[in-house]
A and B are shown apart, each in its own frame.
Chain A
Amino acid sequence: MMSGYGGYGGYAGGNAGGGFQGQFGQQQQPHHQQQQPAGGGFGSPSNPFTNTTPTGSPGARKASDPHGGDAHAARGSRADAGKSEQSLRSVTVKQLQSATQPVPDMPFRLDGRDLSQVVLVGRINSASTQSTNFAMTLDDGTGTVECKKFFGDGGDEEEEAARLAQFSEGVYVRVVGQLRAFASRKTLVLFSVRPVHSANEITLHCLEAITMHLALTRGLPMPAQQMQQQMQQPQAGAFGGFGGAQQHMHQQGQQQQQMQFGAGMFTPLQQEIMMLVSQQQHTVEGMALDALAFRLRGRAGADEVRSTVDYLSAEGHLYSTIDDAHFKATSA
């Protein structure tokens, strides 16, 4: 993945501004990253991820981009390293306190995923401006964390310092930054700070933090699966009865909206199933359900495997091949 861990000003581009995009996009096409990161980092043209010309025409890419092959390789290797995605996660200070850093200088981990950028909302307990950075202590009711915003080297330090002067003790702010450890103390290196004007932001942020935490640790609820179990017996016919389950899904209406929301996020079991099935992509018939259940014995019962596979099919991640006991993944 793009190494955002050297140097203070540089962060790894990506969707720091966006909502949940970063979390779902396992493959983020380089051409979306039009924005150049503020303050140092990746302006250099040698960065393989910004080398690719906009993907209008593959021909253009081949012709004008001698590094096309490299970009492919780079994208490929980044897809493999897909565990460390560029995500923006809403968290609380308490969660930061419990985040672990298994390997020094590697990203912190929380709820089984790497932490890249995080968002917090809290009040400033104290703030000070030094020559190279603006430092503050953020308190969100769950704990306090030191934050530092380093001034860019664009010669606009005075402007920036003036803008940051509004952030004094007691002010409510929303910060985006990356967790670092400096001399065994956790510090948040900030990408952005902005004032909070409405208590609704607190509500939203706390709910986001809860949602993300639960989605990562428990997975999102499966209404289609529950509908199925209520409607019919779990047999070979269960997959055929999928049309019925889908009708129920449409009737869910608003609830379905909520389910779509998390379509890209897999629980550990779902992830493992996807991985195992993907290993059979080269065959005609794909992965057999029995074989899948066998591989997962001890971790999940046959019924749970069946219902998870059904859910993944309903969501469009798997499809059946020669019969309803064989599956392949929809995305390679």
Chain B
Amino acid sequence: MGAEATPRINSALLQKNVGRPVRLVGKVIGLNATHAFIEASDRGQVNVQLTAGSIIRQGVVEVLGRVNPDLSIAEMSSFMFQEDYDCDTYNRMVTLAHSQPELFGWA
């Protein structure tokens, strides 16, 4: 057991987590060869630098990556969900989870 915690974030939490690996769930609103543009659960936009062999495509994605100083995310790996999701409820869950360090350990 162990390994670093990877906090779930939205666009507002990027600032707090610069340099750390994070999990971002959101909708892909733009995509090119090198970047994906994700609408996070708080409706803010996040730029993701794609890793080689990235599987990101249209849809709902969870990106695991490190936050760069410029608040973009360097992708490490991603998972595409097959269905849509309720972003407002997810967003409230993220906020709530950050207030429960005993369960999540996200500062």
**Which residues does A use to contact B, with CB under 8 Å?**
91-98, 123, 139, 141-146, 170-172, 185-186, 196-200, 202-203, 206-207, 209-210, 213
A141 to B103, CA, bound (A): 11
CB within 8 A of A94: which of B5, B86, B93? B5
Nearest chain A CB to B48 CB, angstrom units: 16
Question: Given A141-B104, A172-B79, A200 and B2 touching (CB < 8 A)?
Answer: no
Tell me the total A-B contact number using a CB cutoff of 8 A: 96
Judge whether B90 and A203 touch: CB under 8 Å. yes
Residues in A whose Cβ lies below 8 Å from that of B3: 139, 143-144
Contact B103 A209 (CB under 8 A): yes
Residues of B within 8 A of A93 (CB): 1
Contact A94 B79 (CB under 8 A): no
In the bound complex, CA of A139 to CA of B23 (Å) = 11
Distance in angstroms from B42 CB to nearest chain A CB is: 14
Flag the segment in B28-36, B65-73, B94-102 that touches A. B94-102
Whether the Cβ atoms of B81 and A94 lie closer than 8 Å is no
Q: Which of B5-51 contact A (CB under 8 A)?
A: 5-8, 23, 25
Residues on B with beta carbons closer than 8 Å to the beta carbon of A197: 81-83
Chain A residues, CB < 8 A from B81: 172, 196-199
Name the residue on B nearest A93 (C-beta).
Answer: B1
Interface pair A142/B103, CB less than 8 Å apart: yes
The residue on B at minimum CB distance from A199 is: B85
Shortest distance between the CB of A108 and any CB in chain B (Å): 13
B22 nearest CB across to chain A (Å): 9
State whether A144 and B25 are in contact (beta carbons under 8 Å apart), knowing that A198-B85, A199-B85, A203-B89 are contacts in the complex.
no
